[in-house]
Chain A
Amino acid sequence: MDLATVIQLLDSTLRLATPLLLACLAGLFSERAGIFDIGLEGKMLAAAFFSAAVAAMTGNVWIGLLAGTAASLALAALHGLASITFRGNQLISGVAINFLASGLTVLIGQTWFQLGGRTPSLEGAARFQEITLPLAGVLEPVPVIGPLYANVLSGHTILVYVGLLAVPATWYVLFRTRFGLRLRAVGENPGAVDTAGVSVVGLRFSAVLICGLLCGLAGAYLATGLSAGFVKEMSAGRGFIALAALIFAKWRPWYALAACLLFGLLEALGNRFQSLEVLGVTLPTQFMQALPYILTVVILAGFVGKAIPPRAGGAAYVKER
C-alpha cells in the first residue's frame, strides 16, 4: 500500500465518518439525558430530504440546511412530546419516527417535484462546495504531514469541520458546564435532579432538541454535501450504524470520534478493496461491511470492557403517583 492509497483511504474515511459522527453525537446527547433514540435514521432522512428540496427550490444551500435542521428538530420535538410529555415508550416512538420519515419524504417529494420522491440534482450554490484550508498549498511539499494536511484534512465541505469541532464542543458542554452535569444526572437519576429543583422535563427536552439539531446537520451533509440531491431511503442504515458507534464508544464524545472514524475506515477499506489480504487470510468485502455490527455485539457482550448505558435510559420520569 503506497502513500497515495493511504491518503485516498483516509480522505474517504473522513467523508464517510462525518454523517456517522454527527448522528452519533446527536444520540449521545439524547441518551445521556435518558432518552433512547432509535429515530436517528428517520431524522437524518427527513433532514436530507428537506435540505435538498429547499436548496433545489431556492438555489441556496444555507437555506436548505436551515430547512433540513428545522425538519429534524420538528421530529425531535415529536419524539420528546411522545416520550417525555406523554411518557410513551421511547423505542416505539423512535420506530414510528423512522417510518414517518421514510414515508413522508417520498410522498412530499413526489408532490413537489414529480420525480418519484427524488429531488432535482443540485448544482452550484445549491450544494456545499469543498473548501481548501489555509496553507494547504504551501504545506503540501512537506513530507508525510504535508499531504496529510492538504489532501486528507483539507478539501472537504464545511460540515465535515463542523462535525469534527462538535466533538470537543460536546465534551466541553457535557463535562465542563453546569448544564452538562445536570444533563448527565438526569440520565442517571432524574429523581435527584428533580429534588434539587431542576426541571427534568426541560433538561430532557433540550437534550432531545440538541439531538435533532445534530441529526439535521448529518442529514443535510448526506444530501447536499456528499451527494447532490435526495434519493429515497438514502440514509441507508447510517442512523443505526451511528447507534452502534455510540454503544461502541460507551457514550463518550472522544470515543465516539474514534468509533466513527474506525467505522468510516472499515467502509472505506471495503470500498477500495473487494477483498483484503490480512496475514494470509482473504477477507471478503461483505465481512468488512458487517464488521461494525460484529464489533458492537462484541462490546455489548462485555468482552472488551463493559458498556454501561445511562441508568435511567429508556424510562419515562414520573414525578409522583
Chain B
Amino acid sequence: MTIMKSLFGATAIVALGAAAATAEPGLIIDLGGKFDKSFNESAYNGAQRWLEESGASYRETELQSEAQREQSMRRMAESGANPVVVLGFANASTLEKVAPDYPDTNFTIVDMVVDQPNVQSVVFKEHEGSFLVGVLAAMASDSGTVSFIGGMDVPLISKFACGYAQGVKAVNPDANVIVNMTGTTPTAWNDPVKGAELTRAQISQGSDVVYAAAGGTGIGVLQAAADEGILSIGVDSNQNYLHPGYVLTSMVKRVDNAVYEAFEAGAAGEFQPGIKVMGLDNNGVGWALDENNEPLITESMKATVEETKTRIIAGEITVHDYTTDGSCPAY
C-alpha cells in the first residue's frame, strides 16, 4: 500500500513538474464581472494585451459569488497556472490561507498586501490619482460643491474619497465635498439604480461634479450626471467615452499594467515577491485626457494638474492615505 502511495505521489510530482514547465499564467476575475467598464475590465485588457504580444495563452476564471474565492483559487493553482493573479482586496484573507499550500505557485494580488514568500502584492496610490481628479473637479465646479460616490463601504474606497477631497480642498479650501457610499454588501458594486438616485440627491445639494468609484454602480452615476447635465469623473478604466462632453476625466488605475507585468515576469521567470507600489511616478495611476473630454479641460486646468502631479512625485505635496490611519483630514 505504501509503495502504491509513493508511486502515486511520484506520478503526481512528475505531472506537476510537467505542468510547471509549460505554465500558463492564470487570472481570477473578481465579482463585478469581466466587462464592468472599470477595475476588472482593465485587468482583462492587460491580460489580452499580454496574449497578443506574447502569443502564449492564459487561464481565466470569473467569480460568481463570495463563496467561490477559495475554491477557484485552489483550482487555479492545482491546474498548474503560474503565476496566479487575483484581483481585489476581498481576496486577501483567502490568499493568506491558500498561498502556503502551494509553495511552488506564485501569486500576485492586486489592491491588497498579503505577506507570504510566494505572493507579490501590487498596491496603487489611488489617493494620488484621486487628488489630481479632485483638483480638476474643483476647477470645473461653478457651485463650489462637488461629490463622491463609492461602491461598497470599505477602507480602499475611502482612500479614493479622501484623496479626491484633499485635491478639491487644495484648489478651493471652502469647497464642500459630499461623500456617499452605495452600500455595505457586494451588491453595492452592481446597483446603477441606487447610483443614479445618490447622484440626484447630491445634485439637489448643489453638487456639479461627481466622482464615482463604484464599479458597475458607476455606470448609473455617470448616466444620471449626463441626464441632469452635470459633470462626472470615471474610475479605473478610461470612461471618458461613455458620455462625451459630460465625463470630465477618469482616474485611471493601470490594473492592466499590473496584470501585464505580472504575466510578463512570470513568463520570464523573474517573479519577485513583496510589495510593488504603483503610483504617479511609474504611471500606475493618472488622469485621462482624450478627444472626448478635451473641450472640458481648459489650458489652465491642464497646467495646474500637471504641475500638481510633478509636485506630488517630487514629494512637495503629500497626499494623506486614508488606509494608514482610517481618518481623513479633508472631511
Pick 16 A–B contacts, CB within 8 A, sort by A. A106-B33, A118-B33, A227-B193, A227-B223, A231-B219, A231-B220, A234-B190, A234-B191, A234-B192, A236-B191, A237-B187, A267-B197, A271-B194, A274-B179, A286-B153, A289-B184
A162 to chain B, nearest CB (A): 18
What size tier do the contact residues of chain A reach? 20 to 34
- Does chain A have a CB within 8 A of B35? yes
Q: Is B36 an interface residue (CB 8 A)?
A: yes
CB within 8 Å of B: which A10-62 residues:
12, 15-16, 19
Tell me how far the C-beta of A236 lies from the nearest C-beta in chain B, rounded to whole angstroms.
Answer: 4
Smallest CB separation, B76 vs chain A (Å): 20
B201–A116 CB distance below 8 A: no
Q: How many Å from the CB of B323 to the closest CB on chain A?
A: 20
Pair A16/B184 contact, Cβ less than 8 Å:
no
Q: B159 within 8 Å of A by Cβ?
A: no
Q: Scoring B residues 190 to 218 as 1 if CB is less than 8 Å from chain A, else 0, what string do you get?
A: 11111011101100110000000000100
Interface of B is mostly: helix
Give the chain B neighbours of A15 by CB distance below 8 A: 197
Given A15-B197, A286-B184, A289-B184: A236 and B35 within 8 A (CB)? no
Q: A117 to chain B: closest CB distance in Å?
A: 6
- Report A's interface with B, CB cutoff 8 A: 4-5, 8, 12, 15-16, 19, 106, 114-118, 121, 222, 226-229, 231-234, 236-237, 267-268, 271-272, 274, 285-286, 289
B residues touching A (Cβ–Cβ < 8 Å)?
Answer: 33-37, 41, 153, 179-181, 183-184, 187, 190-194, 196-198, 200-201, 204-205, 216, 219-220, 223, 227, 242
| Residues of B contacting A4 in the complex (Cβ-Cβ under 8 angstroms) | 204
Expressed in whole angstroms, the minimum distance between the Cβ of A225 and any Cβ of chain B is 10
A116-B34 CB under 8 A given contacts A227-B192, A228-B223: yes
Q: Is the CB of B204 within 8 A of A232?
A: no
Taking CB atoms, residues of chain B closer than 8 Å to A115 are 35
A116 touches B35 (CB 8 A): yes
Nearest CB of A to B204, in Å = 4
Q: Indicate which residue in B34, B192, B197, B227 contacts A268 across the interface (CB closer than 8 Å).
A: B197
Q: What's the minimum C-beta distance from B98 to chain A, rounded to whole angstroms?
A: 26
**Contacts A232-B190, A234-B192, A236-B187 known; A227 to B220 CB distance under 8 Å?**
yes
